[in-house]
Amino acid sequence: MRPRTAALCLALSTSLTLLAGCASQASKTNTAAAAAAAAAEPAAPPTVPEIAPGIPAGYLHKDQYLDSLALLPAPPAKGSAAFAHDQAVREEAITLRGTPRWQQAISDADLHFPHAAGTFECALGIPVSQQATPRLYMLLQRSMVDAGLSTYGAKNKYNRTRPFVLAKEASCTPDEEAALRKDGSYPSGHTTIGWAWALILTELAPDRTNAILARGRSFGESRLVCNVHWQSDILEGRFIGAGAVARLRADPTFAADMAAAKAEIASARSQGLVPDRDCAAEATALQRKLERVL
């Protein structure tokens, strides 16, 4: 394992970099056992091997990840119309520095669990935690690994320079900048994960589709506000996220966890459980839109 990624496997502290170094350690759980566990006791997550402390393996084998390098075009070249648009969006996004939208982007940058599990709480209208929804919590953790690792073919090939580096400016997560400088920005891993989560959750709570998709979009756009990704990184991140979910749908263990998670959502609603996050503050922050964004 490369030194750069070995340390990051120990904690989910700097974007998606850890996932690339952890990929070879991931393994699948026994499909039949997981399906039986889902049918017998939906509230009890099955035991899943970890690729690092607190980070369960994804559903897929390494050879089942999307080939982002084959699927995506090269990132926009400097001097192109597409890159000019990337720059225009960046210039607009940095005007939000210090606003509530900037603070929301800082929160969205944190992919540690349990924090990240609550990303869609307000959109779903229920709390998402190991206590309230353990199977949904595990589903989000495992799908994060599969979606995030699908970006690294293109990330490693192009090693695209991030906007805060090119512009010699600060990002919203200064503690992560050293690692981000070494990690290619194309496509956006956070966006890939957020859009995958959004598509998964619309299947689990179709009556909340509009709110969930809007939150998935804003989660990716937070990377623009943070000054760590270009607009084109975000667009292709959504594409890879959608592809990752399409692949996951063919996995029977994933299907079993989806069924268990759907039951948990129904149970949480029947109990009248409400989100732990400040949904009013989140809604206020997300009212700020980027006019040039695609």
pLDDT of 53-96, one tens digit each? 889 999 999 999 999 999 999 999 999 999 999 999 999 999 99
User: Does residue 11 lie within any of the structural domains?
Assistant: no
| Set 183, 223, 238, 257: catalytic member | 223
User: Does residue 229 lie within any of the structural domains?
Assistant: yes
In the prediction, which pLDDT does 15 show? 44
In the prediction, which pLDDT does 247 show? 98
User: Does residue 50 lie within any of the structural domains?
Assistant: no
User: Does residue 24 lie within any of the structural domains?
Assistant: no
Share of the chain above pLDDT 70, in %: 85
User: Does residue 43 lie within any of the structural domains?
Assistant: no
| Per-chain mean pLDDT for the chain | 89
Q: Is 112 an active-site residue?
A: no
Residue 107 token pair: 């929160």
| Set 135, 160, 208, 229: catalytic member | 229
In the prediction, which pLDDT does 157 show? 98
In the prediction, which pLDDT does 21 show? 56
Q: Is 233 an active-site residue?
A: yes
Q: Any idea which residue has 């699948």 for tokens?
A: 28
| Set 135, 190, 208, 215: catalytic member | 190
CA-to-CA distance for 292 and 43, rounded, in angstroms?
44
Number of H helices, E strands in the chain: 16, 2
Q: Is 2 an active-site residue?
A: no
Number of domains in the chain: 1
Mean pLDDT by 10 residues, the chain (294 residues): 34 49 46 41 75 93 96 97 98 97 98 98 98 97 98 98 97 97 97 98 98 98 98 98 98 98 98 98 97 94
3-class DSSP state of 228: coil
The conformation of residue 119, written as its DSSP 8-state character, comes to: G
The alpha carbon dihedral of 221, 222, 224, 225 has a sign of: positive
- Please tell me the pTM assigned to this model: 0.89
In the prediction, which pLDDT does 45 show? 78
The conformation of residue 281, written as its DSSP 8-state character, comes to: H
Beta bridge partners of 52: 55
H-helix segments, 110-208:
121-124, 134-149, 152-158, 163-166, 177-182, 189-204
User: Does residue 183 lie within any of the structural domains?
Assistant: yes
Query: What residues contact residue 78 under an 8 Å CB cut-off, 6+ apart?
Result: none
In the prediction, which pLDDT does 18 show? 54
Residue 249 domain boundaries? 80-286
Q: In 10 A of CB 211, how many CB atoms?
A: 19
User: Does residue 173 lie within any of the structural domains?
Assistant: yes
**Residue 100 maps to which CATH number?**
1.20.144.10
User: Does residue 7 lie within any of the structural domains?
Assistant: no
Q: Cα separations (Å) of 129 from 132, 139, 203, 264?
A: 5, 11, 19, 11
